[in-house]
Amino acid sequence: MLGKRGGPGPDADLLTCEDCEFFNNDPREIENLFQGIRILSSAYSSTRGNAGLCAVHDLFMNPGAPCAHFRRSPRSPVESEGP
Amino acid sequence: MVKHSRGMAELYRTEDCWAIWLGLFIIFAAMTAFWGGTTLKDIAVTPGSWSNFEELAADVQKHLGAYGLIYIGFGIAFTLSMAAMGQNIREYVPGYTIIFLGSLGIFYLASWRVMKTAHLGAPLLALVVGLIIGNLKRMPEWFQTSMRTEYYIKTGIVLLGATLPFTLILTAGPVAFLQATIVSVVTWLTIYLAATRLFGLDPRFGAVLGAGGAVCGVSASIAVGGAVRAKKDHIAIGIGVVSIWAIVMIFSLVILTKVMIPPPAELASTPDSIMTITPGEAGAWIGTSEYADAAGFAVVAELAHEYGEAAIHTFTLMKVIGRDIWVGIWAFVLSVISVMFWEQTAGQRNVRAGVIWERFPKFVLGFFAASIIISVIAANAPEDHQGKAAVEGVFKSHLGKEQYKADFSGYLPPPALAARFHFSPAEGTIAFDGKMSYDQLDALTAAAATKDQKTALKQLHYKSDWFESILATQAISPIKKLRSWCFVFCFLCIGLSTRIKDLLVFGMKPFWAFTIGVLVNVPLGFFLSTYVFAEYWKAIR
């Protein structure tokens, strides 16, 4: 199910940036990265949603469809039902 | 392939939802106590006034048990929610303890008569003390876990819903939305155009800065940043610029509004002029010209200390209803614009309308729920309620205290009200069946011969209002006290976590782009609040 390096593979329509090793939307890590966020906001708020940091493109973004740099993350909850 | 749903996790992994659960639980507890014939008043306390050490010690001793219960109650709720959100509770608990004790100290400092004479309330003192400590000494990493500014203020806002009638939200909400939309759109355009046309910044960066000034501060910058795929540095700079200005505006707006609002005793008699405003107008102005809920509440909570709740109500209508709840729409619209015009791979990603709901600040639902619950209860006052007032006592109002000792032995009420007005010489009381209207008060007062009789009738008018004299004092007052605790936790955390040096990491171009927006936003907000829509805001108590 994993694509070769450089793409998500045949199940791309089920995967998003959240399933990518290079994408991080863990709220604790976002707050550590953006230190001032705790003063008047929070990474645990609804308004952040599931936005996070893409290490490849250096962007803060809502997760979207995987790009050519996609690499499946071990923490991805997407499961396979077949071989 | 099976994809797990992540939607339900929001119910226990976001501060918004925990603010709803905790806020509504407190309201439920207050109402349960009320219907059970008791009240949380003796538990939900804040310090009383003191002027010497003996009075201070007596107050501490009187309330020590209640402070312990508040500490434990909030402590359990916050700790459980922190654990559910994946925070380290071994760091949270000691940090919360320090924040609680610090807040208690702030409350006592604010209740010292010297501070009362200087008109310095707990909100401003919490911020100032926090800023001094936080900038003299960096807070240790483990303490950061407990400085949950947003969580505390959102819980406070949910509790605030219990004091804002839902009918007011329905009638004033559209006005707030109209005024806020005008200011938000003008502010966003000003900042965006200054950033891109004047200073040549990236359009997405301009959008992030604009959202911070126009919608709801750092939270909006984050929401829009994610929607337009802003660079990481742009988010960091946006946070710094918005935070600096939000802190500056706290002090600026406190000073300006305190200068421009006449003293409470002179409010009714002061003629309109360009340099005087009412608390309601001040709250609306702050609602358009502050950049974060927490910062704005620091200002209006400080005003409430002296002027009552009007500024808090109008601020909430303007900021929460007029601005906060539309952040999802801003994020959606700007993401469409970004895809079409700003991104290098223009048109190559889909934009989902679902982001409007995903980015909706869910804690506002708790605010609405609290308002609806209390409004429904208030609308169903007991039909057989009889207000009763002593003929001798003290009448308290926002103008001060009036002592009276009235003799009603020769008093003749108007014939139309004779069946509902009762005087009991044996009990030393006067009574009125049902709720007395202002017209009925005027009629009863017209028949009064002495000033003391008139004051006693004002007291009776208050007692005839089941909501004000019974529900508000027994159930809503404790909710307001606990709300004050949440607010002071928040303001202390703002101060402790704001290190000015760390925020000054931005270049001058984004700072000036934002500042140009401030220079437009503040006078525009003032003009709309105190001229165009003044009559709406003046009428709100």
What pLDDT digit, counting tens, does each position of B124-164 carry? Answer: 999 999 999 999 999 999 999 999 999 999 999 999 999 99
Minimum distance, in Å, between the CA of residue B455 and any CA atom of chain A: 46
Between A and B, how many residue pairs show a Cβ–Cβ distance under 8 A?
157
Picking from B1, B223, B246, the nearest residue to A79 by CB comes out as B1
B92-113: average pLDDT: 97
Residues 6 or more apart whose CB falls under 8 angstroms from that of B191 comprise: B206, B209, B210, B213, B214, B513, B514, B516, B517
Q: Mapping DSSP to helix (H, G, I), strand (E, B) and coil, where does residue B424 land?
A: strand
For chain A, say whether B220 makes contact (Cβ under 8 Å). yes
CA-CA distance, A36 to B95, in Å (whole number)? 18
Cβ–Cβ below 8 Å for A64 and B349? yes
Picking from B1, B6, B246, the nearest residue to A14 by CB comes out as B1
Task: Pick from B228, B235, B350 the residue to mutate for testing the A interface (most A CBs within 10 Å).
Answer: B235
Three-state SS for B382-420 is CCCCEEEEECEEEEEECCEEEEEECCCCCCCCCHHHCCC
Tokens representing residue B307 in the block: 């002027």
- pLDDT of B273 reads 77
| pLDDT one-digit tens code per residue, B241-285 | 999 999 999 999 999 999 999 988 777 777 777 789 999 999 999
pLDDT at B357 over 80: yes
Lowest mean pLDDT among A44-58, B107-121, B334-348: B334-348
Helices (H) and strands (E) in chain A — how many of each?
Answer: 2, 3
CA-CA distance, B225 to B205, in Å (whole number)? 8
- pLDDT of A11 reads 59
Q: State the ipTM, two decimals.
A: 0.87
From A34, which residue of chain B is nearest by alpha-carbon distance? B236
CA-CA distance, B226 to A83, in Å (whole number)? 36
Q: Mapping DSSP to helix (H, G, I), strand (E, B) and coil, where does residue B97 land?
A: helix
Task: Report which residue type is found at B64.
Answer: L
| pLDDT one-digit tens code per residue, B190-236 | 999 999 999 999 999 999 999 999 999 999 999 999 999 999 999 99
B90-110: average pLDDT: 97
- Of B500, B494, B503, B481, the residue nearest B99 (C-alpha): B494
- pLDDT of B12 reads 86
Lowest mean pLDDT among B30-34, B169-173, B342-346, B519-523: B342-346
Q: pTM for this structure?
A: 0.90
From A59, which residue of chain B is nearest by alpha-carbon distance? B231
- pLDDT of B539 reads 87
- pLDDT of B5 reads 42
Cβ–Cβ below 8 Å for B350 and A64? yes
Cβ–Cβ below 8 Å for B222 and A58? no
B332-348: average pLDDT: 83
CA-CA distance, B335 to B49, in Å (whole number)? 52
Cβ–Cβ below 8 Å for A58 and B232? yes
CA-CA distance, B252 to B295, in Å (whole number)? 11
Lowest mean pLDDT among A12-16, B21-25, B466-470: A12-16
Task: Report which residue type is found at B123.
Answer: P
From B86, which residue of chain A is nearest by alpha-carbon distance? A28
pLDDT at B347 over 60: no
What is B211-236 written as a DSSP string? HIIIIIHHHHHHHHHHHHTEEHHHHH
Which chain A residues are within 8 Å of B1, Cβ to Cβ?
1, 11, 14, 78-81
Q: Each residue's pLDDT tens digit in chain A (83 positions)? A: 334 445 555 555 678 999 999 999 999 999 999 989 999 999 999 999 999 999 999 999 999 888 999 999 887 765 544 34
% of chain B with per-residue pLDDT over 70? 97
Residue with tokens 């008569």: B113
Query: Where does residue B467 rank: exposed (0-12), middle (13-18), buried (19+ CB within 10 A)?
Result: middle
- Of B332, B148, B322, the residue nearest B223 (C-alpha): B332
Cβ–Cβ below 8 Å for B231 and A33? no
B432-438: average pLDDT: 93
B11-32: average pLDDT: 95
